[in-house]
Chains A and B, each alone.
Chain A
């Protein structure tokens, strides 16, 4: 059915399909054609132009399929044009095959050109929408690269496989994913032993790879159709398996509804789910879960202890015995993957790295911390006010005080200050913006917290914000001045990694710190209500106060730094002395003969 049938495509190039591709494409075509009973047109309404007698693919189905390939619409248009369907007005087999090849080319990164399809390509990958049951089928390992993309879903796969392959395992608890997914280097321990022999069969021949997922897809792929029997059965089975694996009662988490590009990429829904789970263990999403809590939780997944230990090793990047939110997500994801039969990777995949996770999904995290911290720490009406002020305070303080010299009671603040200083550059810009965006009346929803990267330039109400800050800063310097060196030392004793992690806590503890400071609360809240003029009068006075405070703190810093270096020196000397003494002792001791 290849090049010879170039009927619909006038200048179509000879299309060489490998056997695997041929099978794949014909299946797809059959499905698309069968789904709609032939005839309809893609593109302009030229229904009459359908070649009588020839099988054509339904435009709607084809469009769905193409969209499922996750290529941009632009590319899809190009492909449709190139393959000739636009020209002839329908998707005949040739056009369809060419289109599929072009899709594969586009997904491999090649330009959408006719020439691209002349070379050996992997199969196109399609991800069906949520309404359909989702199976990703990809090329088996033999075609391209060691890693194959295999359907990722836990229960869906089980459901389908169970339906279609009788010899597959029955229990959903240990889903069997094709071993094709396993990179050759994966540790043998983690190979899922109970692989049904159906899969082993698959492994041996590429062709068999295709029918299996296709068969699985058959009952499920209904163009824009509502759930068929299989997907309908999915949620309960899905839930059952999940509940079995985790005795924790979960939301109807559908971690299979959105297939990741690779198995190690966390999708949005998965992310949400992980975050919720995190919250169930630890209300503050910006804080971390201790090792024992995490251990109890993950043990419920019924993975073996060595595997869990390995997963922990992979995900606890800073080796501190606790999991932050990104670390937790990574660990959870690995556990889920493992339960799906994926062998564990040798190293933490780049998409699971904490930095990546934080960067990739900043918004939900932000919102979490935003709402959580605010809701937790805002008992009074002054909440938005307090928070704002606190944010300013902390930010401005950090900008001004390189070392968290100003000590606002809690060690957390210190750490956060250190961290946030590292994080932010144009802190001052953030401050006025906060003020302008948050009228006193608002409560609850605040603009993105200052913990975020600096926002664009400040607005007009810079005066007001400064005025607001000053009351607080007045307090802070005095506090700082009063604080003993011991207080300042305590932050140093904290493990250095913590500041980085707890960067989102500022609002939390910051507000808590401010709560007791009713003195600031008074003038500040009053100031917000009034026009800014009243407050401006104090600004210059307060500026001076701040500056003196700054100077004092800088001096304190310098003193401490010197002290530190001296002590270090002493320590070194003492150390050396000790070694010398030990040597002496060594010599004096009678020799012990074995």
Chain B
């Protein structure tokens, strides 16, 4: 099955997009883009007082094709992670998704720790971030 991950900056441009069967990349870009609306809405709806670290929502069931389930995650600095998994893999539990997002988040912070990484750059950390994401997605598939 398919899985995809994306990391988006606070201004909603992509820092990192990766699909596991890579031919879906474009479609995934599109999905991520559409999901941004929902994400933004949720963020604003969250309320100012609540500095919410996690957000989990069963996003847009993609209407036309096999249902894809999207999950979103927002960090304190408004960096967004979006994951799309095939709905065929219903075995995925809430906690699994959360743990995946946590892993994503910690890898992201590791990338940030690299002084040669300018926030806002595309994440090109081949070794750490990429491999982590790939392995994670393989797990899901």
Tell me the residues in window 66-92 of chain B with beta carbons closer than 8 Å to chain A beta carbons: none
Bound together, the chains give a CA A309 to CA B118 distance in angstroms of 10
Interface of B is mostly: helix
Q: Which residue of B lies closest to A314 (CB)?
A: B127
Nearest Cβ on chain A to B24's Cβ, whole angstroms: 18
Nearest Cβ on chain B to A25's Cβ, whole angstroms: 42
Interface contact B114-A321, CB-CB below 8 Å: yes
Interface contact A294-B115, CB-CB below 8 Å: yes
Tell me the residues in window 90-141 of chain B with beta carbons closer than 8 Å to chain A beta carbons: 109-110, 112-117, 124-128
A residues less than 8 Å from B113 (CB atoms): 291, 316, 319-321
A residues less than 8 Å from B127 (CB atoms): 310, 313-314, 346-347
B residues less than 8 Å from A594 (CB atoms): 34, 60, 63
Interface size in chain B (residues, C-beta < 8 A): 22
Q: Which residue of A lies closest to B112 (CB)?
A: A321
Is B49 interfacial (CB-CB < 8 Å)?
Answer: no
Bound together, the chains give a CA A306 to CA B63 distance in angstroms of 40
A residues less than 8 Å from B56 (CB atoms): 582
Nearest Cβ on chain B to A587's Cβ, whole angstroms: 12
Bound together, the chains give a CA A308 to CA B41 distance in angstroms of 39
Bound together, the chains give a CA A291 to CA B116 distance in angstroms of 8
Q: What are some 27 contacts across the A-B interface (CB < 8 A)?
A: A290-B115, A291-B114, A294-B115, A295-B115, A309-B114, A309-B116, A309-B124, A310-B125, A310-B126, A310-B127, A312-B114, A313-B127, A313-B128, A316-B113, A316-B114, A319-B109, A319-B110, A319-B128, A321-B112, A321-B114, A321-B115, A346-B127, A347-B127, A582-B56, A589-B45, A592-B38, A592-B41
Q: Which residue of A lies closest to B116 (CB)?
A: A309
Picked from A309, A314, A582, A585, the residue with its CB within 8 Å of the CB of B117 is A309
Q: Contacts A319-B110, A586-B57, A589-B45 given: A305-B126 contact, CB under 8 Å?
A: no
Nearest Cβ on chain A to B121's Cβ, whole angstroms: 9
- State the 9 A-B residue pairs at the shortest beta-carbon distance, nearest first: A291-B115, A321-B113, A309-B116, A295-B115, A319-B110, A308-B116, A312-B114, A319-B113, A305-B116
Is A226 interfacial (CB-CB < 8 Å)?
Answer: no
Interface contact A309-B125, CB-CB below 8 Å: yes
Is A493 interfacial (CB-CB < 8 Å)?
Answer: no
Nearest Cβ on chain B to A557's Cβ, whole angstroms: 29
Bound together, the chains give a CA A582 to CA B116 distance in angstroms of 38
Bound together, the chains give a CA A321 to CA B125 distance in angstroms of 15
A residues less than 8 Å from B124 (CB atoms): 306, 309
A residues less than 8 Å from B38 (CB atoms): 592
A residues less than 8 Å from B128 (CB atoms): 313, 319
Q: What 1/0 mask marks residues of chain B from 22 to 65 whose CB sits below 8 Å from any chain A CB?
A: 00000000000010011001000100000000001100100100
Nearest Cβ on chain A to B67's Cβ, whole angstroms: 13
Q: Which residue of B lies closest to A575 (CB)?
A: B54
Query: Among A294, A321, A586, which residue has the most Cβ atoms of chain B within 10 A?
Result: A321
Bound together, the chains give a CA A321 to CA B109 distance in angstroms of 10
Since A313-B114, A582-B56 are in contact, a sample of 14 more A-B pairs with Cβ atoms closer than 8 Å, ordered by chain A residue number, is A290-B115, A294-B115, A295-B115, A309-B117, A309-B125, A313-B127, A316-B114, A319-B109, A319-B110, A319-B128, A320-B113, A321-B114, A346-B127, A589-B45
Query: Among A292, A308, A313, A316, which residue has the most Cβ atoms of chain B within 10 A?
Result: A313
Q: Which residue of B lies closest to A296 (CB)?
A: B115
Nearest Cβ on chain A to B124's Cβ, whole angstroms: 6
Q: Which residue of B lies closest to A189 (CB)?
A: B126
Bound together, the chains give a CA A310 to CA B114 distance in angstroms of 9
B residues less than 8 Å from A589 (CB atoms): 45
B residues less than 8 Å from A310 (CB atoms): 125-127
Q: Which residue of A lies closest to B62 (CB)?
A: A594
Is A187 interfacial (CB-CB < 8 Å)?
Answer: yes
B residues less than 8 Å from A292 (CB atoms): 115
Nearest Cβ on chain A to B130's Cβ, whole angstroms: 11
Query: Among A314, A316, A319, A586, which residue has the most Cβ atoms of chain B within 10 A?
Result: A319
Nearest Cβ on chain B to A502's Cβ, whole angstroms: 17
Q: Which residue of B lies closest to A346 (CB)?
A: B127
B residues less than 8 Å from A312 (CB atoms): 114-116
Q: What 1/0 mask marks residues of chain A from 501 to 530 whose CB sits below 8 Å from any chain B CB?
A: 000000000000000000000000000000
B residues less than 8 Å from A308 (CB atoms): 116
